[in-house]
Each structure stands twice: as C-alpha cells, then as structure tokens.
Amino acid sequence: MNGTSQRAAPKDKLVARMPHSKKLPGLELMSFLKNMIRREFPTFFLAMSGVLLAWVCSLDAAETNIQRKPNVLFIAVDDLNGWVGHLKGHPNVNTPNIDRLAERGISFTRAYCSAPLCNPSRISLLTGIAPSKSGVYGNGEKLRDNLPNAVTLMQHFRASGYSARGAGKIFHGRSAYDEGSWDGYFMPANSGKPRRIKRDSSLPKSAWVPWGPLACSDDEMFDGKVANWIISELEKPQKKPFFLAYGLTKPHLTWEVPQKYFDLHPVDGIELPVVREGDLNDVPPFGQKLAREVYDPSGERDFATPGGDHQNVIDNSQWHKAVQAYLATISFADAQIGRVLDALDQSEHAENTIIVLWGDHGWHLGEKEHWRKHALWDVSTRTPLVISVPEGGSKGQLCHRPVSLIDLYPTLIDLCGLPERDGLDGQSLNPLLKNPNQQWHRPVVMTYGFNNHAIQTERWRYIRYANGDEELYDHSKDQNEWTNLARDPKYAAEIKRLSAHLPRTNS
C-alpha cells in the first residue's frame, strides 16, 4: 500500500444504534432491551424490580467482563536472531528495552519460526497453518491465493469483539494488506530515503556492503513513523478491547540507521561470531548450496558464486563492520520498541494489556559460512519470543523448552478467553507461561521449501531435505551444530524416531 491508509469496517444502522452488535449480538441485544425497559416501562420495571435488578446486574457484570478482556500489543521484529541482551546472544549487543520487557514476562530462549523466510513464517503464524499444509514456501505466494478461507488471528479477534488495528510490517510486503483482518491500518508513504554516509571509496564495486550510518533522525525512518502512529493509538481511549500490531522492518537489510546507533558499537571493539573452519565439510550438497547463496542486484538468487556472501565479506575485510551494522540496526529497533512500551505504560491500558514480541526468523552472520536466513539450521530459525501477561503469568523468567511461533495463535486465544478454533497446527503456550520449567514434549517443525524440514527437540536437531539428504546435531554437546552425526550408524534409531515427526502432508 502506498501512502497513509486507515480503513474502517463498514457500519450499518443497527450497529449505530447498538454498538458492536455485529460482533456480540447476544450481549448487545440484552443491553439494548435492558435500557428500553427502564425507559419505556418504568412502572413495570419497579414492580419487577427484584427479578429485573438481578438480571440487570448480571448484564452489567457480563458487560464489565467483556470490557475487561485483555488488550494485546503485538510487536513483530524483522530478521532478529538471538542477539538480545537477556539471551546473551552477542557480547556487544545493546537492547535495554527488549530486556526490560523480558523482565515483565516469560522469554523463550528456544523459540523457532515455521519457516526461515518472511512470508511463509508470517502467514503460518497469522493463520495457524503450517507451510507444509498451506503450500506457502516463498515470498511470492499470496495469502488468499493459497488460503482463501483461512481465518487470520486478527479476524478471530475481530469476530470476538475486539478492534484490530496495525501498522508497519505484519504480513510480508507493502501490498500484503489483508482487508478482512483489520479495522484500520497505517503504512507510511515512501518519502525518499534518508541520506546515507558516503560508501567507502576503497572498496571494489563487487563488495557486498548493504549497510552504513544515516544522517537523519529516528522520526525520518519507516519504523520511527510507524512507532509514532502506534503511540498515538495507545494514547486514545478505546471502546473495545484492542489488538494492536506494531511491525518493524529492522533489523532486516539494509542495515542503515542513524549514526548514533553505530556509535553504540565501536567497530574496534566488535567480536565476531564463533565459527569453525571447514564447517560445511560434513554438510550434504543441498545444505552447502543453501549456505553459499548470494543475491545479485536484481534480487535473483545465485548459488554459483564461489564461497557465497561469506567469502565476499572476508575478501573485502567487512566482517567486523557488518556485525557492527547489524548490532546498530538491532539497537535502533530496540529504541523504537522502548518508545512504544513507554507509551503503553503511560496510558490507561497499561494494567490490562498482554504484550507479545516476536521475530519472524533468525539470521546468520558467518556461522556455518552462511549469511542471511534461508536455511534449516538453528541460527536461521531461532528468534526471540517474549510474552508478558498482566495477571497470572510468571515474571522475569526464561523458558528453555523448544516452542514454535505457530503456537502464538492458540496461545492468545487461550489468554484472552476467545472461542477455540479447529484446524490450528500450534498448541497453547499458556502452561509454560505459568510454569516455564514444566515438561514439554512437543517437537518443533520447521520448513524451507517443498519437503525440506527440520525437527527440534530438547536435545536434537534433525534435518531432512527433499532429496533424502540428512543432518543430525546433538545440542546437548554441540549447540553450534559443527558435527553432523547423520551418517553415523549408531544414531540410526534416533533418526528413525525423529523422522516420525516429519509432516505427512506436503502441499
């Protein structure tokens, strides 16, 4: 969508007389009749005061219960790996606002996407339908082409009496607005790119350097504009409980943010990710192909460049600067999240709002000789997930159980007391919000492309590609996934057990 758009659901005359009746017909009709009896039949009302008083009180209680349903602030962060402070993902990270949110709720240290790519990950999360069932594997597929009858998370909230509004990147792409999902949506107009500091003239044109500081303010950035709109929404009184979605585009490439965020991470103090030389030697050919992909200027994927992006970064001595730029972009995103959290805390909604912060997938910066996402390893698929519940949830704890982003749909249904829905592939995380240390035996399934899957349990990561190639990593001894055990016969029984969790349907 280009420009600013705020779309409101149509209102007919009945809705004008009895607000929200389209969403909650029983409750609103009773409320309407209650007020009519009081106004039109005062004598009858007094005569029947005892019975009617009890009935009216029950209606008032029901209305109060609806009004007290928790709001939801839904924060989506693009391409954020585990580099946040409270997860100790990188020694140079600076994320005070995400970290303070984690102190208010549960942070899942092993939260995984359904797919390590924006569009399939987001559609899976927002519909509750796994990629292997929807057939949404890439960024080119459209939600309603593949899933014309899917009820999105926001649609279900709207049908349950909520107002659903959002801004920024929730679905993938500016044109991915889903009409039925929102009561209103804001997307900033393209108003020219902030001025970038001049590229290093000593670098050859072939150098891959999509990063650098900008000479601008936060408010000139897309995510800053969207944060301002979200803040304005939080400052308003609300007639309904609300589902408010804030979608950031950072730290997605390009890593271009105001200079002050680069200053937080001086390049001479940057530590590089821990890597192992020759890490791909025991990875099957298809996995090596994914690791060495690059994108040419047209956006087309190229698997033929020797060494891929990783070799380009090393050859041009850009590794430290790239890590600095990614960290700076994370800090910029964290600052915008902090502004939104401050606005919520200062609003009348502070005590009755569930906050969910999630990233759509991970990101490599040289681990396994790979850059970007687009792979089924831990770094590609793991991302922060924080859930803060005003009442009833644990506070300031880490949950180390493997969970999936596809679990968010049933979790929010559970937390907000919405009607249950059939056909969701996730499972409510509410038990872990109450007790993050309890047993959790459900494996996480991740998919990248047709019939390429990874299975994550407490101990194991098993990957099987469509051609039958396999990888197996023991996370109890090898969290970096340096040693592929799939060819060792003594793990055949473990592979067979893990294979039972692979999707049976591949659309």
Q: Distance between CA atoms of 433 and 134, rounded to whole angstroms?
A: 29
Catalytic residue among 86, 113, 118, 399: 118
- The CA angle 245-407-80, to the nearest 5 degrees, is 55
Catalytic residue among 86, 156, 172, 265: 172
CA atoms within 13 A of residue 455's CA, in its CB half-sphere: 23
Q: Distance between CA atoms of 470 and 224, rounded to whole angstroms?
A: 43
Q: How far apart are the first and last CA of the chain?
A: 29
Q: Are 275 and 366 in contact (CB under 8 A)?
A: yes
- The CA angle 109-390-107, to the nearest 5 degrees, is 5
Radius of gyration of the chain (CA): 25
- Find, among 417, 463, 457, 474, the residue nearest to 110 by Cα: 457
- Where do the DSSP E strands lie in 95-248? 106-108, 111-112, 163-168, 184-186, 211-214, 242-247
User: Coil, strand, or helix at residue 95?
Assistant: coil
Label residue 297 left, alpha or beta by phi (over 0 means left) and psi (-120 to 50 means alpha).
Answer: alpha
CA distances 157 to 128, 233, 248, 331, 397, Å, are 14, 18, 21, 31, 28
Tokens matching residue 417: 């007391």
Q: 3-class secondary structure for 224-281?
A: HHHHHHHHHHHCCCCCCCEEEEEECCCCCCCEEEEHHHHHCCCHHHCCCCCCCCCHHH
- Find, among 363, 355, 359, the residue nearest to 385 by Cα: 359
Q: Give the contacts of 380 (CB within 8 A, at least 6 positions apart).
A: 116, 361, 362, 363, 364, 370, 373, 374
Instruction: Specify whether 216 is catalytic.
Output: no
Instruction: Specify whether 113 is catalytic.
Output: no
DSSP string, 423-462: T------HHHHH-TTS---PPEEEE-STT-EEEE-SSEEE
Q: Are 336 and 369 in contact (CB under 8 A)?
A: no
Q: Distance between CA atoms of 367 and 86, rounded to whole angstroms?
A: 21
Q: Give the contacts of 414 (CB within 8 A, at least 6 positions apart).
A: 428, 430
The residues annotated with a catalytic role in the active site are 118, 172
